Structure 1
Amino acid sequence: MNAVPDSSTEPMILRADAEGVATLTLNRPGQFNALSQAMLEALLAELQAIAADKSVRVVVLAGAGKAFCAGHDLKEMRGNHTKAFMQALFRLCGKVMMQIVGMPQPVVARIHGIATAAGCQLVSMCDLAVASDVARFAVSGINVGLFCATPSVGLSRNMGRKEAFEMLVTGDFIDAAEAKRRGLVNRVVPLEALDDEVARLTASICAKSPVAIAMGKQMFYSQLEMGLDAAYQQASEVMACNMMCEDAAEGIDAFMAKRKPVWTGK
């Protein structure tokens, strides 16, 4: 996972599938996996392909080399210093973030090193996140005169407003333990235990009904944008529809019969 590509011909996104889990690895280790336009396009294409792949139950997003992701490619941005390029770049980045949310499969961030600026945004937009105890997080654009506006969207939806805003206006790093306390990541483990912990989490998800997971994920994000009454109406309708699924009937029957359910995904 942390191998350095032999040449520039290496793909920017590596995909490996095993037991229902698709692992996508950001593969620009020499640039600390900076999100260039090409990398964002490649990541979007992989996510779109996986979204339509019913054999994939969970997606893991990882990074090659020392860093998880250091944010946008500042060198590329300075070399294309037009408003049109910036608008297109940030729209593309937003499309990637929304693709993660719109995936029927849960997306788990595997953070082994630093996640800064848009890299921290990427963590915040994943459904779940597991970090090593040496990982660090920052939205550091402010240090170069750029407020991390797009990362603030995900950050402010993961943690308290004052905690998020402090990171945005100071650019200061927080460690993995603090990121967990603030709600940015779910679990923190020693670096050598990171893959085992990610495997435990993904195995737990893979053991559940895929149709229930997909319906639940869509409902979870949509109800967050609603008022309380509308949210309950939406949730009630989703639960009623979920109960009509074959998997729900199978799951309840299996529970009562004290046997393991066999999911059909219907």
Structure 2
Amino acid sequence: MSVYVSTLLRWSVLQILLVICCMVSDGQAVDVSTALGPIRGFATTMDDGTVLNTFLGVPFAAPPTGNLRFRPPQPHQCWTDVYDATRFGPACLQYPRSATTSVIPYDPSLDDINVSEDCLNLNVYGPQVSGSDPLLPVMLYFHGGAHVAGANKRQDGSLLAQKGVIVVITNYRLGALGFFSTGDSSAPGNYGLLDQLEAMKWVRENIWAFGGSPDRVTIFGESSGAASTSLHLLSPLSRGYFLQAILQSGASTSPWAVLLPEYEPQKYTDELAKQMDCSTQIEHVTQ
């Protein structure tokens, strides 16, 4: 085991211990009303007496399955019953850990994750506030993982939320399901980035219900999440959905961040279709 991976494992264990020591679940239900419907989370008391509200696995887009596979995310349907947001939602489908350790250090937090194509959910952490309190700044996080691995359950937003901000940590589609492209309208690609944009739209429309200000949103991420953040700084589609950004160990100029046209994405599409024993004709690849 390399020194880097060994250090990462020790740091991950330390983080878990710190979170356990600093948090005690009260078991008190917390309900909020969003534009999509009512949501139920839970309250947590930190070691300094701060009470945080936590909402896990909140859907922000329709399941990207069937005809919505390899397509931009679509709005989620509204619901009338109270949505149970007390458990983590599934992570997006991703490569086995054994296939990614040459790209990303081994992360034990991903060993027991539940994965599904229906994975477009996010977690919200924030101080418990009253209706008369001013709205708090918001931080929306995009996880790293080389665009092939990762999940919103890897990072606990509680300690950051204790500083007086609303923290949102989102999933987005990964690997082929997130970035597969035929180079034309059949499968234009970058669905993972569009999922992130859809999460920004959800924040714009709903974060007030959690005590956050839609006009004070900071997007940030680490590694490939930072590269994604950098791309949102450049994209006109993302304009108006955030106020500022933080890049941690990545940018759109990183050599691994963007597949340039000269590398011919179609070749990757054809190779994937061949490996899956599918037709390599454009009209059949996305079926």
TM-score under structure 2 length normalisation: 0.29
Which structure's residues are more often helix, by fraction?
A: 1
Which structure's residues are more often strand, by fraction?
A: 2
